[in-house]
Structure 1
Amino acid sequence: MTDVTPRLTSLAHGGGCGCKLAPAVLQDILKGMPQAAPFANLMVGTETSDDAAVWRLNDQQALVATTDFFMPVVDDPFDFGRIAATNALSDIYAMGGTPILALALVGMPVATLSTETIGKILQGGADVCAAAGIPVAGGHSIDSVEPIYGLVALGLVHPDQVLTNRGARAGDVLILTKALGVGVLSAAFKQERLDAAGYAALIGSTTKLNTLGAKLAGRAGMHAVTDVTGFGLLGHALEMARGSGLTVELTARPPLLDGVAALLEAGVRTGASGRNWASYGESVDLPADLSQAARDLLTDPQTSGGLLIAVAADQAEALLALAQAEGFDRAAVVGRVVEGPARVRVAA
């Protein structure tokens, strides 16, 4: 055991959802996978890159199952555990589900990190699960070169109220519940360029549970939902466009977390932002005068990001009011769904 505990982020080559495989790489890997046999009770599988699998249990219940884990995005072990757990539970909420239990996934360099540090990571995750009203009921741990933490998360939803990324309709309004810029803030943190206010904005966003999703199930006008994570707003909007067979039109000026605009202008970026654009840029139409900084924001990987919701236009105002009431004070309209090919268009 070393005498001085190193920065958690120094032990990882990437962090948070920014260390996800790039969309193009993932697609290339999965294209060789054999098609799964049909299962009558599998309501949601891998067809449209949705947030979780859904299995019908009976006429009243469907099981929502997902897993998510990554390397540190911050150095504080407790905060890292909170962020990872919040991010993992988000997929349950994005399907309209209510979590029921979690299993911890733990990979730690035990010769480098103390048991106290590792324990704080697990405690952070357990505290988030407690806030969600569920236990961490087990898990699995290994000795790993890089620190890795996350959850297997299970939830329940009524089979008739499952929310997916493929139900958007032409005329829908798109609402994003959290401001963007987590990737920029985390990059600044690694570069030791993030001040206390920026760190507070980072932690505040990434540890806020997307509990709103469970309240959308069965609500009038809710047509499609996904959470915005490692592929950025453009990438996850494109998944919604492809799943729904329609064009998603986004604003070039979505809401930003505090301090993000200045950091972008100072040249702070994540490597994942460029990899994201290289993966799906051919399916996105941008204004000719859109700045590099604006494009990088739209592809910025969001760790534990907000929900992107396609809602009927006549229900948009009520949904924004509900989001505000649930504490999502940065929720905003970021676009619309229109007739057209399965692409994303950024408005001038």
Structure 2
Amino acid sequence: MTAPTTVSTSPTTSYRLTQFAHGGGCACKIPPGELEDVVRGLVGVPSPELVVGLDDGDDAAAVRLEGDTVVLATADFFTPVVDDPYDWGRIAAANALSDIYAMGGRPIVAVNLLGWPRDVLPADLVREVLRGGLDVAREAGCPVAGGHSIDDPEPKYGMAVTGVADARRLLRNDAARAGQALSLTKPLGLGVLANRHKATGEVFPEAVATMVTLNRDAAAQALDAGIEAATDVTGFGLLGHLYKVARASGVSVVVEAAAVPYLAGARESLAEGYVPGGSRRNLDWVRPHLDAAAGEDELLLLADAQTSGGLLVAGEIPAGVVIGEFVPRGEAVVLVR
């Protein structure tokens, strides 16, 4: 296990931001089953230009403009996943941009989404949050053009991002086919490490580095390889997002548990009880559709709520690790071996 660093006492990090929120990162999402019940039947104005909408819960909406050009639209925000405001800003921006990359697109503009307890936390902190988001957007070549803020009892930050893509080369969550390999481009364990950080103040630099890494290069590799199906791993965990892909694509998926990579300290943190409530809810949601030889601890790690996780790709790419394969639809949608 990589030794954690201590909490900084600089003016902008002496506040423990994670203590001002009930959850952290994508683990604070509304549970997937509950969310599906809420939005079921809620459809907008029918449009022949809407290429990807609400039907399969894909990563972003896609609307055709002219010819084969589609506009991608997404929004993502969450409560602090780390105490350092600059790092939180970077993580939130990378996470929001990921939805565009997960669809095979290129981000072209973003706007900030901010909730801030202005009478509780100083302005210097929020400035660092926004600076972190701006720096990651710059790395992505995506302008940040304003945004919206509210006075909020809990700090929240993220972005609404617009992108463009080629309709003929979209990465979708309904396009996986039996016989294709399943690849993962970032290690798991972000949820349990974030939960440990919130409880103890320990800092995990490898986890932060993983969360601020853009999924841009992995998406480009998938497009170059002619891959058609992908999604990113965030708050619903690997099992939750895999279930959505398999269900939408009409296939089942086999996960080889021993092949799945984890961040240093993830297993130890699980063993010590640092499991987000969102991870348990993810496993409960998938369990009726699961055939698993693995034990409960392994399944909790596979269902762990990730923040700014990697891509799940139906195929093989240099940035990915093959962790299983898609197979013809059987009685179980997700099989863990």
TM-score (normalizing by structure 2):
0.92
Quote the RMSD (CA, aligned, Å).
1.6
The equivalent residue for 2:232 is 227
Match of 2:265, as an amino acid?
G
Distance, in Å, in 2 between the alignment partners of 1:214 and 1:162 is 10
SS at match of 1:223: coil
1:155 to 163, 167, 171: 163
Match of 1:300, as an amino acid?
D
The equivalent residue for 2:30 is 21
Matched, 1:112 2:120: yes
Task: Decide which moves more: 17-26 or 260-269.
Answer: 260-269
The equivalent residue for 1:333 is 322
Question: Does the 8 Å contact 2:108/2:142 carry over to 1?
Answer: yes
The equivalent residue for 1:178 is 186
Task: Decide which moves more: 45-54 or 332-341.
Answer: 332-341
CA displacement at 1:220 relative to structure 2: 3.9
Residues 65-103 of structure 1, C-alpha deviations (whole Å, 9 max, x = no match)? 100000001111001100000000000000000111100
CA displacement at 1:213 relative to structure 2: 4.5
Residues 153-197 of structure 1, C-alpha deviations (whole Å, 9 max, x = no match)? 111111211110110111000000000000011011012173x5x
Match of 1:83, as an amino acid?
I
SS at match of 2:228: strand
Matched, 1:79 2:83: no
SS at match of 2:171: coil
**For 1:74-223, what aligned pairs fall within 5 Å after superposition?**
74-192=82-200, 194=202, 196=203, 199-216=204-221, 218-223=223-228
Match of 1:135, as an amino acid?
P
2:304 to 300, 305, 313: 300
Distance, in Å, in 2 between the alignment partners of 1:103 and 1:127 is 13
CA displacement at 1:267 relative to structure 2: 2.6
Distance, in Å, in 1 between the alignment partners of 2:284 and 2:156 is 26
Matched, 1:310 2:318: no
1:274 to 271, 280, 295: 280
Match of 2:236, as an amino acid?
F
Match of 2:30, as an amino acid?
L
List runs of 5+ in structure 1 lacking aligned partners.
324-330
SS at match of 1:107: strand
2:265 to 259, 262, 270: 259
TM-score (normalizing by structure 1):
0.89
SS at match of 1:222: coil
CA displacement at 1:264 relative to structure 2: 2.0
Match of 1:58, as an amino acid?
E
Task: Decide which moves more: 99-108 or 207-216.
Answer: 207-216
Residues 18-56 of structure 1, C-alpha deviations (whole Å, 9 max, x = no match)? 00000111012112x433332111110011110000111
Match of 1:126, as an amino acid?
L
Question: Does the 8 Å contact 1:177/1:307 carry over to 2?
Answer: yes
SS at match of 1:170: coil
Instruction: Count matched residues.
Output: 324
Distance 1:341 1:48, change over 3 A: farther
Question: Does the 8 Å contact 1:97/1:217 carry over to 2?
Answer: no
1:246 to 251, 271, 277: 251
Identity %: 45
CA displacement at 1:292 relative to structure 2: 1.9
Question: Does the 8 Å contact 1:99/1:155 carry over to 2?
Answer: yes
The equivalent residue for 2:42 is 34
Question: Does the 8 Å contact 1:24/1:280 carry over to 2?
Answer: no
SS at match of 2:270: helix
Question: Does the 8 Å contact 1:285/1:346 carry over to 2?
Answer: yes
SS at match of 2:173: coil
1:285 to 267, 291, 315: 291
Distance 1:344 1:126, change over 3 A: same
